[in-house]
Amino acid sequence: GIGYTGGTIRDLSQRALDYTPPLPDNAPESERKQYGQADRFSRFIDDELSALLDSKYRIDTQNQAVFGHSFGALYGLYSLFTRPERFRHYLLVSPSIWWQDRRVLDWLPDTLPQGIGIRLGAGEHEGRNNRPDQTSSGMVAQAKILAGTLHHLGADVRFTLYPNANHGNAPFYALTDCIEYLRNVWQR
């Protein structure tokens, strides 16, 4: 995983800044300080992180995968829509499609390259934890609809609803499926 230097497991403020797509031109400055730097984060991955990893490990740049949860999955969708060749496999759990009135869909392409594998998942209890930002998000329904749309755009897509999972633990339910999916595609 990509972490932060602050010493905590997750830096929620930096995560919100890094994983969210660009804001509309008329967005207030207060929002710009909190969100919308996915392009900068992508440049970090492409220019700095990839070079560092490539200097230490043998990497198949044509067959990379990304795993993301919540805002991390939102970033994965933005990357898929704007530069699908960055990764070949997108493993996205509980994507925050709802963010900024589904702004990420502004970048939805007309088609996707052949060979893109997408695994979308969500917990059956997403939005049932009394948090207003998730209760109104329709996370499960939006992820299911998006899976169908991506299938029509030519991607190999599978949606999985994880029984008994909520927003906080859905990635742990999904991780085994994602590893099994990668094991199968990388052994071909």
- Residues 22-58 have pLDDT tens digits of 999 999 999 999 999 999 999 999 999 999 999 999 9
Q: How many Cα atoms sit within 13 Å of 40 on the Cβ side?
A: 12
pLDDT digits (tens, 9 = 90+) for 146-171: 999 999 999 999 999 999 999 999 99
Confirm whether pTM is higher than 0.95.
Answer: no
Give the CA distances from residue 170 to residues 58, 116, 176, in Å, rounded to whole numbers and listed in that order. Answer: 31, 23, 11
The rounded distance, in Å, linking the Cα atoms of 21 and 37 is: 6
Could you tell me which residues are beta bridge partners of residue 93?
A: 69, 121
What is the C-alpha radius of gyration for the chain, rounded to an integer number of angstroms? 16
**Distance (Å, rounded) from C-alpha 35 to C-alpha 32?**
5
Fold of 62-186: Rossmann fold (3.40.50)
